[in-house]
Structures are given as structure tokens and as C-alpha cells.
């Protein structure tokens, strides 16, 4: 079975440029999560969706960050304009949340996008 | 704000040694998960513990959830080079009708042959 697929795997760009990260969740999963991982702060939740609807975006650092999920099989995380401090590894994860308490549903992570802003 | 502290942050040991990783918080969690992450890859779930005092074993790995559901430990017996990686604990808690995960910063383990 295909896991969570993220693209690109690596992105190097100059500050001020727009960056778009992409994620294809596991088929049948209805929850999608975007995380950012750095040495200093570890793995931080940016935003998550249930059934394509953003539920909690309190982790999105600034208005420069935006995320969309136009359908159940695709999500994007956009940074515009990008800054050097945005450099990190960005992970997408998906899980299945049933109607009755999905607290134990494991999250499946993609292999991440390593983003470097020069 | 829920926070999880992991210790130690780094550990380098010889093959065959035993080790314990700790994950502590002042908050109560619905459940606690342990992940292992290798370079260039995403975290992979090892186990979920739900009940206070619960102990789960996965081959040479033993996971325990504290009685108060605020802390957890991971014990590895007879470590092998293949155990090398970043071990992350993550606590689950309800917020806004959903369950959120908060991660510790991880423990980077190196097992030398």
C-alpha cells in the first residue's frame, strides 16, 4: 500500500520566493496534519484537517503560511513570501478518525520535504 | 500548553547494552505514542499506550505508561545497531472536538557495533 506521499523531497530557494509543498494522504484517511521539524523546536503541529475542513490552524506561525485541502486526496502548504527562518523539514501525516472517539488512531507520516531558504 | 520533556536527548552506547528513555509532562494525556524516526524519513509509530500503568512489549522494547498518565518510559534490552534512530514520544489530548498530538523533541540514539 502506498503511504503518505510528499513532494518535493527537497526544496532550495531564495528568500522572498513562494514555496508550495504538496501532500497526498493515504487513501481512506480523513484526517491530515502538517508538521514542521527543527532541531531547536522539535516536531510542531502547524494545522490539521478533518474531512477536508481545517479544524485547528493555531500552530501556523504567521500569515505568510497557508494550507488548503481541496479534496480528500490532496493538500498543499504554501509559504509566501519565504524567509530563512522557515528552513526546516515539513511533514504531512494522515489518519482515520471514526465517528466514535478516534483518539487511538495512529498518524502515518510521509518522508517530509527538506526546505532551505537562502 | 501541553509539553513533553524527553531525557536523555542524546545517547551513544555499545551493542548489547540496555537503555531507558524517559518522557515526562505535568499534563495528563488520553494516550501516549512512541515513534522512531530514521534520517531522511518520517516518524514511524512503534506503540500506543492508553491505560495508566500499562506495559507493552515489542520484542526487545518495553513501553510503560505512568499511573497518572503524565509520563512514559521506553526500555531497550540488548541494543543493536539497527536500533539507531530518533525516538519520539507524543501525547494525545482532546481539543476542539478532536485529538491533538504534542511531541517531545526526541532522544537520538546511536548504537555502536
Percent of all residues in chain B with a pLDDT value above 70, rounded to a whole number: 96
Output the pLDDT for position B94: 79
Query: How far apart are alpha carbons A48 and A33 in whole angstroms?
Result: 4
Nearest chain B alpha carbon to A32: B100
**Per-residue pLDDT reduced to its tens digit, A49-69:** 989 999 889 899 889 999 999
- DSSP string for residues in B18-71: -EEEEEE-SS--SEEEEEEE-TTS--EEEEEE-STT-EEEETTEEEEE-TTSSE
Output the pLDDT for position B97: 64
pLDDT at A102 over 60: no
Mean pLDDT, range B14-18, rounded to an integer: 97
**Per-residue pLDDT reduced to its tens digit, B54-69:** 999 999 999 999 999 9
Nearest chain B alpha carbon to A108: B44
**Per-residue pLDDT reduced to its tens digit, B82-97:** 999 999 999 988 776 6
Output the pLDDT for position B41: 94
Size of interface A-B (CB pairs under 8 A): 59
* Partner residue opposite A42 with nearest CB, options B31, B45, B106: B106
Chain B positions touching A104 (Cβ under 8 A) are: 31, 48, 50, 92
Q: ∠A57-A58-A59 over CA atoms, to 5°?
A: 90
Mean pLDDT (chain B) is 93
Amino acid at each position: 500500500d502506498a503511504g503518505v506521499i510528499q513532494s518535493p523531497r527537497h526544496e532550495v530557494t531564495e528568500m522572498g520566493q513562494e514555496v508550495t509543498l504538496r501532500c497526498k494522504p493515504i487513501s481512506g484517511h480523513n484526517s491530515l496534519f502538517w508538521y514542521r521539524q527543527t532541531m531547536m523546536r522539535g516536531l510542531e503541529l502547524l494545522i490539521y484537517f478533518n474531512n477536508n475542513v481545517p479544524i485547528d490552524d493555531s500552530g501556523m506561525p504567521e500569515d505568510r503560511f497557508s494550507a488548503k485541502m481541496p479534496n480528500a486526496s490532496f493538500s498543499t502548504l504554501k509559504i509566501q513570501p519565504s524567509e530563512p527562518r522557515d528552513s526546516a523539514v515539513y511533514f504531512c501525516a494522515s489518519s482515520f478518525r471514526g465517528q466514535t472517539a478516534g483518539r487511538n488512531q495512529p498518524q502515518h507520516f510521509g518522508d517530509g520535504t527538506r526546505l532551505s531558504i537562502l | 500548553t501541553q509539553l513533553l520533556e524527553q531525557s536523555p536527548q542524546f545517547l551513544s552506547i555499545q551493542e548489547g547494552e540496555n537503555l531507558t528513555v524517559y518522557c515526562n509532562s505535568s499534563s495528563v494525556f488520553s494516550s501516549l505514542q512512541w515513534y522512531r524516526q530514521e534520517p531522511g524519513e518520517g516518524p514511524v509509530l512503534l506503540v500506543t499506550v492508553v491505560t495508566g500503568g500499562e506495559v507493552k512489549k515489542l520484542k526487545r522494547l518495553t513501553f510503560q505508561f505512568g499511573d497518572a498518565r503524565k509520563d512514559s518510559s521506553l526500555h531497550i534490552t540488548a541494543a543493536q545497531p539497527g536500533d539507531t534512530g530518533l525516538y519520539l514520544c507524543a501525547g494525545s489530548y482532546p481539543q476542539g472536538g478532536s485529538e491533538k498530538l504534542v511531541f517531545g523533541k526526541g532522544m537520538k540514539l546511536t548504537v555502536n557495533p
